[in-house]
């Protein structure tokens, strides 16, 4: 996915984007072993997905205020994976954590992580 963007939207409005993103998909494991066998048997449990961004680009103060308000109110945001203008997949997510660094004489950076609600869906 070279050159793919991840867009963050609130009520259809773009509030942030970033290219350098970490995606983590995981499955809980259920132990379905029995006492009849020494070998452990497993099956899939719940699926989960997280997205982390170390330097989210937030284009305006209004977008930042909307993002912070969504986090504080517990409102979901929409994430979209986009490549060359084509939306590959999207998902609703909650903001798990959000922090900002405002160094002297340098640009402010926003680090943010999301927990996906449900699953990623193909396209928009």
| Per-residue pLDDT tens listing for the chain (124 residues) | 456 789 999 999 999 998 788 999 999 999 999 989 889 999 999 999 999 998 898 888 899 999 999 999 999 999 999 888 889 999 999 999 999 888 888 777 889 999 999 999 997 6
Domain 4-122 carries which CATH code? 2.40.30
pTM attached to this predicted model: 0.84
Beta bridge partners of 114: 51, 95
In the chain, domain spans: 4-122
Q: What are the residues whose beta carbons fall under 8 Å from the beta carbon of 51, sequence distance 6 or more?
A: 6, 21, 22, 23, 24, 79, 93, 113, 114, 116
């Amino acid at each position: 996915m070279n050159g793919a963007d991840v867009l963050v939207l609130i009520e259809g409005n773009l509030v942030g984007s970033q290219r350098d993103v970490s995606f983590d998909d995981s499955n809980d494991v259920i132990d379905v072993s029995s006492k009849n066998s020494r070998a452990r048997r497993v099956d899939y449990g719940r699926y989960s997905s997280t997205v982390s961004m170390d330097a989210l680009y937030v284009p305006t103060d209004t977008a930042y205020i909307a993002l912070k308000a969504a986090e504080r109110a517990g409102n979901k945001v929409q994430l979209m994976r986009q490549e060359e203008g084509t939306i590959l997949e999207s998902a609703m997510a909650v903001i798990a954590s959000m922090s900002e660094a405002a160094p002297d004489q340098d640009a402010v950076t926003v680090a943010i992580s999301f927990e996906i609600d449900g699953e990623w869906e193909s396209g928009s």
